[in-house]
Amino acid sequence: MSLKSHFKTLVPGASSSAGSLEVTAPFDGSVIGSVELADAAAVEQALDIAAALHADVSQRLPAWQRISILKKAAGLLTERAEDFALESAREGGKPLIDSRAEVSRAIDGIHCCIETIRTQHGEEIPMGLNPASAHRLAFSSHEPIGPVLAYSAFNHPMNLIIHQVFPAIATGCPVIVKPASDTPLSCFRLVELLHEAGLPPAWCQALAIKDRGLATATVGDRRIAFFTFIGSGKVGWMLRSKLAPGTRCALEHGGAAPVIMDDTADLNLAAPLLAKGAFYHAGQVCVSVQRIFAPSTMIRELADKLAAEAARMKVGDPTLEEVAIGPLIRTKELERVEKWVEEAIAAGAKLHSGGKRFSSTCYGPTILIDPPPACSVSSEEIFGPVVCLYSYEDLEEAIDRANHVPYSFQASVFSQNMDTIFRAYRRLNAKTVMVNDHTAFRVDWMPFAGLRESGLGIGGIPHTISDMQIEKSLIFQSPSL
């Protein structure tokens, strides 16, 4: 089937004079669609609709109806999975094989929302434990927190919408979503799919905002109860400072994921996993493998094995079955990655393999050995297909170096030694530590969080649903209790 390629602002009754946003494929720059841009009047209308909807308790959707809508949405997405995957690959540049996996995850994520509705519940609050609480019975239940505003990122154009928008639907919160300007089509398709599944359009509104001042001002609106942001730390922390008093938020930013290896690590197991974790989606993943610390005696062998894996990963058009590494999202990002690699080499890093453009939009998988700590590739999130190997003589020193960045997200350790594994687990600055696996592993029901400058709050669908609710208590007092 042919999917729709132009979208009007999805705000009931709104019109806009802001023009349209043209969407181009990052691989070849071809125009693949467009989205109407929202002006200030359209944004105001969306906020009014969401606030009024939440304020009218009689309009709230009961749990059985939310479950029914989500079930139908999962069924529709299953029927159209291949079309959604292909269009997502074109729009975001993630290879088709990985875009298919993203669609599969999206379907599973919708089912995870349904399961959480079915299993999440309040609890009895103990009373009668002291004289003051005698003759009382108390319990809690959950209610939607209020209107949700979601600002999303480009790198997982479907799953990030599943993570941010579908939990709001599951909780019964009206939600307004602004997708990344590079990848709005997947978002609008998913929102229209929700409407097709029976969700009244006012409950999920989508709009594209080009005006940064308008986007920033919207975040600070007092009608917003919860703000969810996925994107750069610089933007996310700035937007958090604009929130109105009382607005809750969740932020998910990037990292510079470390891997610790010791001399018992199985390199034949590690190499394909680390190559996938480093070069998947051209490294444009917040928990991509970036910094690998290994004993100096194994650095050369590890680099050779990683290079062999990289050589098997075809670079090019993300819509082709055989391609494993697609383009960077924008030309300026390719130029930045190229500059950072050149800077590291000039500072003394050894270029083991790669280090050059594959085309005007693709950068080849690159392996650097021992770039100095002050280089951008060592101290900042690369967000490109580059991995850095660092040799060490002392494990404690390696862990200290791994922790010497302001980011903390996911990490991993490769070892057959339990003492090394637990040492790394206890000492690494990370929310999650993988053992004998790459840093980019995730399932959508696990807690997923960036700490320090990498984010705020706990992601993962059940945790996001919890964030978008209030737990409200009811306390009875009676002499008969």
The single-letter code of the amino acid at 13 is G
Q: Which structure tokens are listed for 347?
A: 């500072």
**E-assigned strand segments in 128-247:** 136-144, 148-151, 175-178, 204-206, 226-230
Cβ neighbours of residue 270 closer than 8 Å, sequence gap 6 or more: 261, 302, 305, 414, 436
Is 252 one of the catalytic residues?
A: yes
Helix ranges, 39-123 (H): 40-55, 63-79, 81-92, 96-119
Is 286 one of the catalytic residues?
A: yes
What span, in angstroms and rounded, lies between the C-alpha atoms of 399 and 403? 6
The single-letter code of the amino acid at 215 is A
What span, in angstroms and rounded, lies between the C-alpha atoms of 194 and 68? 11
What span, in angstroms and rounded, lies between the C-alpha atoms of 438 and 52? 46
Task: Name the DSSP class of 436.
Answer: S
What span, in angstroms and rounded, lies between the C-alpha atoms of 380 and 454? 11
Q: Report which of 218, 217, 216, 209 is spatially closest to residue 37, judged by C-alpha positions.
A: 209
Name the catalytic one among 252, 309, 338, 453: 252
Q: Report which of 161, 412, 199, 150 is spatially closest to residue 294, judged by C-alpha positions.
A: 412
Angle of helix 81-92 versus helix 63-79 axis, rounded to 10: 80
Name the catalytic one among 286, 362, 375, 388: 286
Residues designated catalytic: 252, 286
